Chains A and B, each alone.
Chain A
Amino acid sequence: EVQLVESGGGLVQPGRSLRLSCAASGFTFDDYAMHWVRQAPGKGLEWVSGISWNSGSIGYADSVKGRFTISRDNAKNSLYLQMNSLRAEDTALYYCAKPDSSSWDIPIFDYWGQGTLVTVSS
């Protein structure tokens, strides 16, 4: 059974940093790209970032480019999102999502985690 378990969320002040993790199991992690998608309270889905199976290709939404860094450790079956210079508008539930492809540019998300909540507030 595929499982994606996010962690690392919490309350953080504007301008500070936070690192999210996603622990994957039930599939061959290094066969697939991975993505982060967020959802602000009461709002729609917003793609944040994606990374190919071997970290060779990475992409970011314009809203987080230069502030967020996606990475993965295939030996640990884990995906990460380093979030710096956080803003109030980054407040959201952050989902880890698995596409049905090794390439990050074929984003058909067949599995999602339950999300970890990030709240940016003073």
Chain B
Amino acid sequence: SYVLTQPPSVSVAPGKTARITCGGNNIGSKSVHWYQQKPGQAPVLVIYYDSDRPSGIPERFSGSNSGNTATLTISRVEAGDEADYYCQVWDSSSDNVVFGGGTKLTVL
């Protein structure tokens, strides 16, 4: 089955740029979606189709996808961005939705 690999944690100072990676075999050929989950809350979609932002999501959130790595980039990080972030794809070979293991973003 398809596996998505994320770093367990990323730390960044306020105002700096955070980059969260999601690795998978030829992930560039798939559509990647990203979710933000704050403690005690349901996940929220922040990026879909690699780089599109839902309405209401700040422009500071962006995404890219190429080769074996997709990346969620958060510019001008704020304390309120501290959360767990999950990447997700549809794996057509197994007809499964696949989530990455999640990355905890800590704002220093």
Contacts and interface: CB of A to CB of B under 8 A. Distances in A.
B52 to A, nearest CB: 9
6 shortest A-B CB distances, which residue pairs? A47-B97, A112-B42, A44-B102, A45-B99, A107-B97, A108-B48
Interface string B26-38: 0000000101010
Chain A: interface size category: 20 to 34
Interface residues of B, number: 24
Contacts of B90: 105-107
B54 interface: yes
A50 B98 CA distance: 12
Interface of A: 35, 37, 44-47, 50, 59, 61-62, 95, 100, 105-110, 112-115
Contacts of A109: 33, 35, 43, 45, 88
Interface in B72-98: 84, 86, 88, 90, 92, 95-98
Contacts of B35: 45, 109
A35 B98 CA distance: 13
Interface of B: 1, 33, 35, 37, 42-45, 48-49, 54, 84, 86, 88, 90, 92, 95-102
Contacts of A62: 1, 96
A45 B102 contact: yes
B42 A61 contact: no
Contacts of B102: 44-45
Contact of B96 (A59, A95, A108): A59
Nearest to B54: A110
15 contacts: A37-B97, A37-B99, A44-B84, A44-B102, A45-B37, A45-B43, A46-B99, A47-B99, A59-B95, A95-B42, A100-B48, A107-B97, A108-B49, A109-B43, A109-B45
